[in-house]
Amino acid sequence: MPWKQVNPMDERVRFVVETQLGMKSIQQLCHDYGISRKTGYKWLERHAEGGFEACIDQSRAPHSCPHKTSDKIEARLIELRNLYPKWGPKKLVALLEMEMKESHVISASTAGDILYRHGLVVPRKVKKRNYGKTKTHFLREPTSANDVWAVDYKGWFRTKDHFVCHPLTVTDLHSRYVLWCKGHRKQSASEVEKDFETIFTTYGVPLALRMDNGSPFGSTGPGGLTYLSLRWMQIGIDIEFITPGKPQQNGSHERMHRTLKFEAILPPARDIYEQQYRFDAWRERFNTLRPHESLQQKTPGSVYSPSPRRYTGRKGFTYPGYFEVRSVRKDGMFFWKGTLRFVGEAFGKEQIGLVRDHEDRWLVFAGEMLVGWFHESLSGVRPLSEWESFCGRDGRRPPTGSL
């Protein structure tokens, strides 16, 4: 037989009734019902004031909550979420504080609760990623604006007129400022070079450019260089290639691509011209309005400033007097002791520097970058992967004393 369910309201009514009958003392009744005399007298007083209905449990919620979020702030928060549906509570709170010119208007957790209560957020299961140990010591850590820029083509997509669009993006890795976002019909070195003429003229020249190993930025040739990256070196820019298959080494740029996708590409525009209008509007919003968590909720535009290194055009490579200098033909060949050796078409119409090491190998330099080596008994220039112990990870010229 199941246990009898006890209703607290019924018990209180029986307690009051038995008290009125006077068959037992209040002390005995409190003992029988398993309550203290203080509690017994409380329910008798409530019955005397309001009858049996007063024996119902009353809400313990406070009549007022002085720290409750005001209806005005809550309404504005909902408006901002509808205006920027991909922004989370932290960014919306930062934007709200900028609008109201106050700090600590509302906490991010409270904002998240409000959005959840109005059905404006859906809990998302975070996928745990394990990238393992990645060697990134050869990539510099930007400490100020224009230390390192990242350049990449975001994945292509088709606009509604069925034409392909390849967005070229450039960001400053310290301030997260998006310097460029332009749709191209194809991934073209000439188009990238033309865009960078405008970028360098507008924002100056960075210390380094970080990119992946794909065309038109990188190649499988000596030093991983292409015509484009070689030209940037002649401007005085260090070239940094991430490890193949390790996009997390350029994580902030890849994260920006995700924001670009959800806020300016999905769904695609009617044609590339309308899509470019979206890119321009998104870039302005990202730089001047959208707070960034890594910047303590400041906007990239409030942190970034143009580079003091002004663009004066590219210059040819120069080498110390003890280097052998050779001019490379358009087809990537250069003369060495009456024979032709191939170094790469990327070096066409440029000069390379050669210097002998202590083991009679000739090191091949493009400016200050060691790109390969060769031996007189072998044909062609060999990649650094066949002789990594000498050059080190950064590819810089070794000290003169070690040659």
With CA atoms as reference, report the closest residue to 173 among 207, 197, 132. Answer: 207
- Segment 343-367 shows an average pLDDT of 90
Beta bridge partners of 340: 335
Check whether 65 has a pLDDT greater than 80. no
- Segment 271-293 shows an average pLDDT of 96
For residue 104 the two structure tokens come to 């600590």
Reported confidence tier of residue 280, pLDDT bands at 50, 70, 90: very high
- Give the mean pLDDT of the chain: 84
Place of tokens 């509302």: 106
Buried b (16+ CB within 10 A) or exposed e, 179-203: bbbbbbeebbeebbeebbeebbeeb
Reported confidence tier of residue 271, pLDDT bands at 50, 70, 90: very high
pLDDT for position 315? 86
- Contact between residue 275 and residue 183 where contact means Cβ atoms under 8 Å apart: yes
pLDDT for position 64? 65
Per-residue pLDDT of 294-318, as tens digits, reads 899 999 999 999 999 999 988 889 9
Check whether 396 has a pLDDT greater than 50. no
Q: Lowest-confidence range among 29-33, 145-149, 331-335?
A: 29-33
Higher pLDDT, 152 or 382: 152
Most confident of 51-60, 91-100, 105-114, 198-207: 198-207
User: What sign does the dihedral 181-244-345-317 (CA atoms) show?
Assistant: positive
Reported confidence tier of residue 387, pLDDT bands at 50, 70, 90: low
- Segment 371-398 shows an average pLDDT of 66
265: left (phi over 0), alpha (psi -120 to 50) or beta: alpha
Query: DSSP assignment of 184-206, as one string?
Result: ESS--HHHHHHHHHHHHHHH---
CA 151 to chain centroid, in Å, comes to 14
pLDDT for position 314? 85
Check whether 135 has a pLDDT greater than 50. no
Please give the sequence-ordered ranges of beta strands (E in DSSP) within 164-254, or none if there are none.
164-172, 178-184, 208-211, 238-241
- Contact between residue 274 and residue 282 where contact means Cβ atoms under 8 Å apart: no
- Segment 102-111 shows an average pLDDT of 84
pLDDT for position 126? 62
Length of the chain: 403
- Contact between residue 77 and residue 83 where contact means Cβ atoms under 8 Å apart: no
Angle among Cα 285, 289, 290 to the nearest 5 degrees reads: 90
Q: How far apart are CA 239 and CA 150, in angstroms?
A: 10
Higher pLDDT, 25 or 56: 25
Check whether 389 has a pLDDT greater than 70. no
With CA atoms as reference, report the closest residue to 203 among 164, 171, 248. Answer: 171
Reported confidence tier of residue 60, pLDDT bands at 50, 70, 90: low
Reported confidence tier of residue 392, pLDDT bands at 50, 70, 90: very low
Check whether 399 has a pLDDT greater than 50. no
Higher pLDDT, 97 or 186: 186
pLDDT for position 132? 41
Per-residue pLDDT of 147-197, as tens digits, reads 999 999 999 999 999 999 999 999 999 999 999 999 999 999 999 999 999
Q: Residue 240 — φ and ψ, nearest 5°?
A: -120, 120
pLDDT for position 254? 93
Per-residue pLDDT of 34-59, as tens digits, reads 888 888 888 788 777 777 666 666 66
Reported confidence tier of residue 2, pLDDT bands at 50, 70, 90: very low
- The beta-carbon contacts of 46-55 under 8 Å, at least 24 apart in sequence, are 47/16, 52/13, 52/16, 55/9, 55/12, 55/13, 55/16
Check whether 365 has a pLDDT greater than 60. yes
Q: How far apart are CA 131 and CA 299, in angstroms?
A: 29
- Segment 10-31 shows an average pLDDT of 77
Query: DSSP assignment of 70-124, as one string?
Result: PHHHHHHHHHHHHHSTT--HHHHHHHHHHHHT-S-SS-HHHHHHHHHHTT-----
